[in-house]
Chains A and B, each alone.
Chain A
Amino acid sequence: MKGGTAIMTTTRFAAALAAAVFLLAAAPGAARAAGPLDDPGFAKVITCAACHGANGNSGSDMMPIISGLDPAYFKRQIENYAAGKRPSPEMEPYAKEVQFLGADQIAAYFAAQKRVPTPIRVSAEAAARGKTIAAQCVVCHGPDGKGEAARLIPGLAGQPPGYLAQQMALFKGDTRDPGDPLLAAKKALMKIIPDGQFADLAAYYSSLR
């Protein structure tokens, strides 16, 4: 919140009181408990739920979990999708819808949601193999796969394995954010990892909590 707006004037207080009285009068005998609609962000993200799950906690293998995502990272992805820099026939239109509804508010909403790890289970063997390949990923994504928000590096822990493996292939082929200097090192690294190891690497990061 910006400085100064927290101070409520007498006029504003009276208006707020009047609004509160109106709300109580509108629902006699049924004082509504606090609900999701109290957060204006909730109504803005209902379209997202069809793919990304309740509050951004996707339960499917191919759709990323977007709850608890750093707002700056979230907004950067929306901008890149909308501009066609991160090409996605699904997300390019929806990113524009997010911008229409208010990217700041939607980013803040998802950032505030508690992240629930994917329910998709991976084999322990695949995860163990993936761990041996992950040594170089740790440099940026951290030893626990939580990422580093300040450097716009997303957390990978608990993301669905299908999504992670697909993104690796997109990075390797330079079809995600082509030419983005922030991602040059990442793509160089992905190029030396054989395609056959993506599933194991994805299994490892997906299994992290």
Chain B
Amino acid sequence: MSRLTRRDFLRSSGVGVGLGLGAGFGLSGCAGTMTGDIAPKSGRRVVVIGGGWGGSTAARYIRIADPTIEVVLLEPNREFVSCPFSNLVLSGQRSIESLTLSYGGLRARGVKIIHELATAIEPDTKRVRIGEGYLAYDRLVVSPGVDFQWEQVEGLAAARDTVLHAWKAGPQTVQLAAQIQSMPDGGVFVLTVPRVAYRCPPGPYERICQVAWYLKGNKPKSKVIVLDANPNIVSKTGLFRAAWRAYPNIDYRASQKVVAVDTSTREVRTEFDRVKYDVLNLIPPQRAGAIAVQADLVGADKRWCEVDHVTYESVKQKNIHVIGDATIGLPVPKSGNVANNMGKAAALSIVSLLNGQAVPLMPPGNTCYSWVSDREAIAVVNAYKIENGKVVQIEQKLTPAQSVSVAQRAEGWRQSIWADMLS
């Protein structure tokens, strides 16, 4: 990773004196490597690792609920790119720019943002390491998203830069769209779905709709082969089945776990079969983001983090709250909306705890839209309550059918929830 310089830090955080940097570091602006305490803590401070759907929301709501608490957000990316709606980039319905948002709104709320990777957590001394320096915290929010288990597919680790996942919206999304567009008519697009649990359960099936929709109109001799490690469509099953009736170019194969990839022969191998591809989108098995594994926040499975259902405090480490896709044990999907709600609940729990107040019960909720064509969408909605300290689902409801009206509401949700994270 790059080394954090004083100049970088001052520039990226947009503050100097406010973080207690003025006197300690002088103002000479020399670009030496930052070591030791990057920003000595004067008041109460929460450090947030990860500026995705969960972390951004947590940082924002701590500042809303109690602006006397300092919030430092560690996020390597300089801009936010929305995973929800990014499948529409693959069908040419949206540009990646239209899904790219600034962190300026959080800065305006006083969140201090450092565009660096957290490299380690030291729970005993309550410090987060950034390269050779560190930041002290009173409470820590870990919202690391997912990382990929490359080793689960033979040949994938070596090919990880050329075999695309496009499962984190950004450069790979654009690259995959370009590969699909340049595929010859008659070419085969292969998409592989990992076994649950993975980020965004309906995401692969929405992606299948979008690619099939694009190919149907632009490359009518092409087809989509889906190799799903699961025995059936994982989410919104009936609605996706109905949507796929419009796409005879989809060849869906259940219980086909990909075990190997060979880029020289352009084929993937399942437990039973070999499948040739022209364009491959291999979504690898996943686990919590690396920092959660490194800090031993994951459970016996070495994949996911168990948390308290009310405060999202890790069951393994005190004063560390884990939110978003990295968590396990709640009856919720790994979705952006759930991460957003966990961010809020963790934020208000932390503010309550730091102020010596009782933590309110804040059950999550989930609204999840999937686009099945260029103009129609479907949705699943989950509501929850908290009973005896555990999150329990009240109800799950699906839209009765795909419609333009649902798609319009999806757009409304997108606008509102982006503002709820970043404005």
Q: Do A and B come from one complex?
A: yes
Look across to chain A and name the residue whose beta carbon is closest to the beta carbon of B66.
A35
A166 to B405 Cα, complex, angstroms: 8
Q: Which of A35, A37, A63 contacts B413 (CB 8 A)?
A: A63
Q: CB-CB contacts of B383-423 with A at 8 A, as 1s and 0s?
A: 11100000000111111100001001101111111011000
Are A37 and B383 interface neighbours, CB within 8 A?
no
Min C-beta distance of B61 to chain A, whole Å: 7
Are A50 and B367 interface neighbours, CB within 8 A?
yes
Are A37 and B365 interface neighbours, CB within 8 A?
no
A93/B383 contact (C-beta < 8 A), A32-B66, A46-B344 known? yes
A-B CB contact pairs (8 Å), 6 listed: A35-B351, A50-B416, A51-B412, A52-B416, A90-B397, A93-B383
Q: CB-CB contacts of B353-382 with A at 8 A, as 1s and 0s?
A: 011110011111101000000000001011
Q: Which residues of B contact A (CB under 8 A)?
A: 43-44, 61, 64-68, 337, 340-341, 344-345, 348, 351-352, 354-357, 360-365, 367, 379, 381-385, 394-400, 405, 408-409, 411-417, 419-420
Look across to chain A and name the residue whose beta carbon is closest to the beta carbon of B382.
A93
Among A46, A59, A90, A163, residue most surrounded by chain B Cβ atoms (within 10 Å): A46
Consensus secondary structure, chain A interface: helix
Are B409 and A62 interface neighbours, CB within 8 A?
yes
* Chain B residues, Cβ within 8 Å of A100: 363, 385, 394
* Chain B residues, Cβ within 8 Å of A44: 360, 362
Min C-beta distance of B327 to chain A, whole Å: 17
Are B381 and A46 interface neighbours, CB within 8 A?
no
- Is A194 close to B, CB under 8 A? no
Are A62 and B394 interface neighbours, CB within 8 A?
no
Interface residue tally for chain A (C-beta within 8 Å): 41
* Chain A residues, Cβ within 8 Å of B396: 93
Look across to chain A and name the residue whose beta carbon is closest to the beta carbon of B365.
A47
Stretch at the interface among A10-18, A19-27, A121-129, A131-139: A19-27
Q: Which residues of A contact B (CB under 8 A)?
A: 22-23, 25-27, 30, 32-33, 35-37, 40, 42-44, 46-47, 49-54, 58-63, 89-90, 92-94, 96-97, 100-101, 162-163, 166
Are B355 and A32 interface neighbours, CB within 8 A?
yes
* Chain B residues, Cβ within 8 Å of A90: 367, 379, 381, 397, 409
